[in-house]
Amino acid sequence: MKLSSSMIDMLINEMDYVIKSIDETGDPIEKLYFFSGIPAAIHRVFNIEYDPELVFIHHVLSSTHQGITQRIDAVRKGDAVVPIVEQQLDKLLYLCKKLRDALKNDLNTDGIMKKFILLLYSTTGNGYYLTKKGVFKF
């Protein structure tokens, strides 16, 4: 990725704040609220220094945020068949840390993005089914 050191520093600083905030709260809604800061920061960066990889990362993270938020909303409205479990939110935090480290060290993020998509899929009915069956691991 071709970003200036000032843009990388800004992005890493924002991600550090988000990661710390996610880690400190026990509320799943707040975790997702803080998580939304990462795609927002990426969006700001690619508006200043465009890079197609950032657009891809932004799309994956935005989709992950939206999908998990929708699942939490459904659970809060009484749909308890497909729950959000603490492991999923722990994995979200872990992946945020891995992404931050990859961006900081200018490493390929494709594998991390795949894991975000798998985490998102775990919140779907079929993802939950396959997890319970033991064939799907997020």
Instruction: List pLDDT tens digits, range 3-44.
Output: 999 999 999 999 999 999 999 999 999 999 999 999 999 999
Give the residue from 40, 44, 136, 41 showing the smallest Cα distance to 91. 136
Q: What is the pLDDT of residue 86?
A: 93
Q: Which two tokens stand for residue 111?
A: 């594998």
Q: What is the pLDDT of residue 2?
A: 87
Mean pLDDT along residues 63-67:
97
For residue 138, being part of any structural domain is answered with: no
Q: 88 pLDDT exceeds 90?
A: yes
For residue 120, being part of any structural domain is answered with: yes
Q: What is the pLDDT of residue 62?
A: 98
What are the φ/ψ torsions at residue 69 (nearest 5 degrees)?
A: -60, -45
- Please report, for the domain that includes residue 127, its CATH number: 1.20.120
For residue 114, being part of any structural domain is answered with: yes
| Mean per-residue pLDDT of the chain | 96
For residue 36, being part of any structural domain is answered with: yes
**The domain containing residue 119 runs over which residues?**
5-133
For residue 97, being part of any structural domain is answered with: yes
Number of domains comprising the chain = 1
For residue 107, being part of any structural domain is answered with: yes
For residue 116, being part of any structural domain is answered with: yes
Helices 86-104 and 110-121 pack at an angle, to 10 degrees, of: 170
For residue 128, being part of any structural domain is answered with: yes
Give the angle subtended at the CA of 29 by the CAs of 45 and 89, to the nearest 5°.
80
Binned at pLDDT 50, 70 and 90, residue 103 comes out as very high
